[in-house]
Structure 1
C-alpha cells in the first residue's frame, strides 16, 4: 500500500507539472482566448470540441486540467485513508483547497464569456500562475515526505548524505542550463524556448522544495546545524526562483533581463552556499564523523 501511494503521489505531482507547462505553452502560443472566451466550452461542435489547431491547444489544456483536478482529489482521499502521515494528507488537502481558486482564475483569465473584459490582464495571469505554483509546491512537499523516511542507522545516513550531494550538484547543473533559455540570453523567447525554460525551472523548483523538506525533517531529528542551514538555503532558493519565474513571464511587456539575471546570480550564490554546507569536510551532517574527533 505504501509503494502504491508513493507512486500515486509521484504521478499526481508529475501530471501537475505537465499541466503547468501546457498552460505556459497555451499562453505563449496565443491560444488562451481561441475558444471564443466561452469557458468552459469551446468554439467547435456543440461547444464541446475545438474548431482549429489554436483552439485545440486551449481545449486540450482544459481537458488535462480537469483530469489533473480529479487525480488530486483522489490523492487527497488516499492521503487520509491509505497512509498514516497527516502532514502528507494536509499538504494534499491544502492543494485541493486551492483548486476552486485556480479554476476560477482560469475562467476569469479567458474572460468568462466576456463578463470580465479585464480577465486576460497581466495581474490575473500572474495570480493564476502563482496559485498553480503553490499547488505544485504542496504536492511536491507531500511527495517528498512520502518517498523519504528519517535515517535510523549509518547506512540510512550515508544514503541521505549522498542524496543531498546529488541534489545540490543537480541544482548547480540545472541553473546554468536554465539560464541559457531565459529571456534575453541566447535564444529568441519563442513558445518552445519558454517551455524548455519553465520545464527546467519547475524541475529545479521541485528539487529545492524536496531538499528543504528532507533536510528540515532530518535536522529536527539530528539537531545538525549544517543540515538546518541547507534547509533554510533551499527554502530561500525556492522563493528566489519563484520570483525569477514570475518576472520571466514577461506579462507587462519586455522586462529588462538585468532583473532576471540578478535573481539568477542570487540563486547561484544560494546553491553554492548550500553546497559548501553539504560538502565541507567538518560539516555536521547526520552520520558524518568529525575529523577533529577522529584525530583524537
Structure 2
C-alpha cells in the first residue's frame, strides 16, 4: 500500500508540474482566449473539440487540468486511507482546497475578459499562477514527506547526508542554467524559451521545498543548528525563487531584467550559504555523530 501511494503522489506532483508548463506555454503562445467564452468547452464541433491549432493548445490544457484535478482528489483520498502520516494527508487536502479557487480563476480569465476589462488582467493571471504554485508546493511537501523518513541507523544517516548533498548540488547547477533562459539574458523570450526557463525553475523550486522539508524533520545534537539553518535558507530560497518566477511572467509589460537579476543574485547567495552548511555540517565521520532523531 505504501509503495503504491508513493507512486501515486509522485505521479500527481509530476502531472501538476506538467500542467503548469502547459499553462505557461498556452499563455505565451497567445492561445488562452482562443476557445472564446465557452469555458469549459471550446470552439470546435459541438463545443467539445478545438477548431484550430491555437484552440487545440487551450483545449488540451483544459483537458490535462481536468485529469490532474481528479488525480489530486484521488491522492487526497488515498492520503487519508492508504498511509499513516497525517501531515501528508493534510498537505494534499490543502491542495484540494485550493482547486476550486484555481478553477474559478482559470474560468474568469477566459470568460469575463470580453465582458469586464479586469477579466484577463495581469492581477488575475498573477493570482492564477500563484495559486498553481501553492498547489505544486503542497504536493511537493507531501511527496518529500512520503519518499523520505527521518534517518535512524548509520546507513540511513549516510543516505540522508548523500540526499542532502545531491539536492544542494542540483540547486547550485540549476540556478546558472536557469538564468541563461531568463528574460533579457541570452535568448529571445519566445514560448519555447519560457517553457525551458520555467521547467528548470519549477524543478529548482521542488528541490528547495524538498530540502526544507527533509532538514526540518531531522536534528542532531551536533549539527542541529546547522540543519535548522539549512531548512530556513531553503525556505527563503523558495520564496525568492517564487518571486522571481512571478516577475518573469512579464504580465505588466517588459519588467526590467535588473529586477529578476537582483532576485537571482540573492538566490545565488542563499544557495552558496546552504551549500556551505550542508557540506560542512554533514561531512563528519560516523564516530563523531550522535544519534539522529526526529523533531516533532
The TM-score, its normalising length taken from structure 2, stands at 0.94
* Cα displacement (A) at 1:115: 4.0
* Cα displacement (A) at 1:220: 8.2
Note closer, same or farther for the CA distance 1:6–1:200 as it changes in structure 2 (3 Å cut).
Answer: same
C-alpha separation in 2, matches of 1:44 and 1:270: 49
Note the residue ranges of structure 1 that are not aligned, 5 or more in a row. 292-296
Name 2:182's counterpart in structure 1.
182
C-alpha separation in 1, matches of 2:149 and 2:283: 16
Name 1:20's counterpart in structure 2.
20
C-alpha separation in 2, matches of 1:77 and 1:158: 34
CA contact (8 A) 2:112 2:120 kept: no
Give the count of matched residue pairs: 289
* Cα displacement (A) at 1:99: 0.1
CA contact (8 A) 2:161 2:282 kept: no
* Secondary structure, aligned partner of 2:111: coil
CA deviation map 1:129-166 (0-9, x unaligned): 00000000000000000000111111111111111111
* Secondary structure, aligned partner of 1:201: helix
Aligned structure 1 segments of 4 or more residues deviating by more than 2 angstroms: 111-117, 219-223, 283-291
In the TM superposition, 1:1-296 aligns within 5 A as 1-112=1-112, 114-219=114-219, 224-280=224-280, 283=281, 290=288
Of the structure 1 ranges 36-45 and 24-33, higher mean CA displacement relative to structure 2 is found in: 36-45
CA deviation map 1:35-57 (0-9, x unaligned): 01221111111111100000000
Note the residue ranges of structure 2 that are not aligned, 5 or more in a row. 290-296
CA contact (8 A) 1:225 1:284 kept: no
* Cα displacement (A) at 1:24: 0.0
CA contact (8 A) 1:38 1:113 kept: no
* Cα displacement (A) at 1:18: 0.1
C-alpha separation in 2, matches of 1:233 and 1:275: 10
C-alpha separation in 2, matches of 1:81 and 1:245: 35
* Cα displacement (A) at 1:223: 7.0
Two-structure CA RMSD over aligned residues (Å) = 1.7
Note closer, same or farther for the CA distance 1:58–1:155 as it changes in structure 2 (3 Å cut).
Answer: same
Note closer, same or farther for the CA distance 1:27–1:221 as it changes in structure 2 (3 Å cut).
Answer: farther
* Cα displacement (A) at 1:116: 3.5
